[in-house]
Amino acid sequence: MAYDKFTVLKSTAVPLPIENVDTDQIIPARFLKATTREGFGDNLFRDWRYNADNSPKQDFILNNPIYSGKILVGGTNFGSGSSREHAAWAIYDYGFRCVVSSFFADIFRGNCINVGILPVQVSPTFLQKILSSIEADPNAQFEINLPDQTITNITTAEKELFDINGYKKNNLLNGFDDIDYLQAMKSDIAAFAEARDM
């Protein structure tokens, strides 16, 4: 699917310092009934964000106008649970382009990259400092530099390297996706399949 290329992102961030944020919280199953991928942002964190009568929960971070930005900062083991790519779609559709955590669940991490969201895994210490910087100043800025694979806490000028494999990095930098790659090697795949069938 087409997404905006990712190079350097400088933005404020929204803190969600909760551990084990699972994909049922990111988007509950009852909102997975669409047959297209648009509009999931409206139900991002639905049951944390809204009361049963659809009024906003005032104490939830997304309902606090002080916090905004294209970076979502979560607690450890972010995105555990279901394989629903809708969770990544919801985060993207809401306007985030990067999720920062000290640990990501596996399927969620892959889904993010496939839809154009950069998952940035940082050390627990660095994560704490990011959260402190936001707490001290909700307008604190962060820079995510994909070519250099760095995240910078501009307030403290601290920088950390993050990991991403070269192939996926190239995809994000150029807006490529895996399907294009696989389509280009279909004859190899067909030959492989035939050899397996023998």
Partner 1 sequence: MSNKLSTLFDKVWDAHVVRKIEDGPDVFFIDRHFIHEVTSPVAFLGLQNRGVGVMFPKDTFATADHNTPTINQHLPVADPLSNIQLKALEQNAAKYGISHWGLGNPKNGIVHVVGPENGITQPGMTIVCGDSHTSTHGAFGAIAFGIGTSEVEMVLSSQCIMQPKPLKMRINVNGTLGKAVTPKDVTLYIISQLTTAGATGYFVEYAGDVFERMSMEGRMTVCNMSIEMGARGGMIAPDETTFAYINGRELAPKGAAWDKALAYWKTLKTDEGAVFDKEYSFDATDIEPMITYGTNPGMGMGISKSIPRGADLKGGTATYEKSLNYMGFHEQDQMIGKKVDFVFIGSCTNGRIEDFRAFASIIKGRKKAEHVTAWVVPGSHIVEQQIKEEGILDILTDAGFLLRQPGCSACLAMNDDKIPAGKYAVSTSNRNFEGRQGPGSRTLLASPLVAAAAAVTGFVTDPRDLM
43 vs 153, which CB is nearer to partner 1?
A: 43
**C-alpha to C-alpha distance for 76 and 123, rounded to whole angstroms:** 10
In the list 55, 157, 183, 194, the residue contacting partner 1 (rule: CB under 8 A) is 183
In the list 8, 154, 173, 185, the residue contacting partner 1 (rule: CB under 8 A) is 185
**C-alpha to C-alpha distance for 70 and 97, rounded to whole angstroms:** 5
* 157 near partner 1, judged by CB under 8 A: no
In the list 71, 73, 85, 151, the residue contacting partner 1 (rule: CB under 8 A) is 85
**Rounded to the nearest whole angstrom, what is the least distance from the CB of residue 10 to partner 1 in the complex?**
27
| Span 10-69, contacts to partner 1 by CB under 8 A | 17-20, 22, 24-25, 28-30, 32-37, 47, 52
82 vs 153, which CB is nearer to partner 1?
A: 82
Question: Buried (b) or exposed (e) across 38-49, using 16+ Cβ within 10 A?
Answer: eebeebbbbbbb
| Structure token digits, residue 37 | 């991928």
157 vs 187, which CB is nearer to partner 1?
A: 187
Sign of the torsion angle spanned by Cα atoms 39, 45, 51, 52: positive
* 103 near partner 1, judged by CB under 8 A: yes
**C-alpha to C-alpha distance for 46 and 72, rounded to whole angstroms:** 16
The residue whose two tokens read 């648009």 is 38
125 vs 139, which CB is nearer to partner 1?
A: 125
Specify the DSSP class assigned to residue 80: B
The residue whose two tokens read 């290329």 is 5
| Structure token digits, residue 17 | 């310092």
Residues that bind partner 1 (CB under 8 A): 1, 17-20, 22, 24-25, 28-30, 32-37, 47, 52, 75-77, 80-86, 88, 103-107, 110-111, 114-115, 165-168, 177-179, 181-183, 185-186, 188-190, 192-193, 196
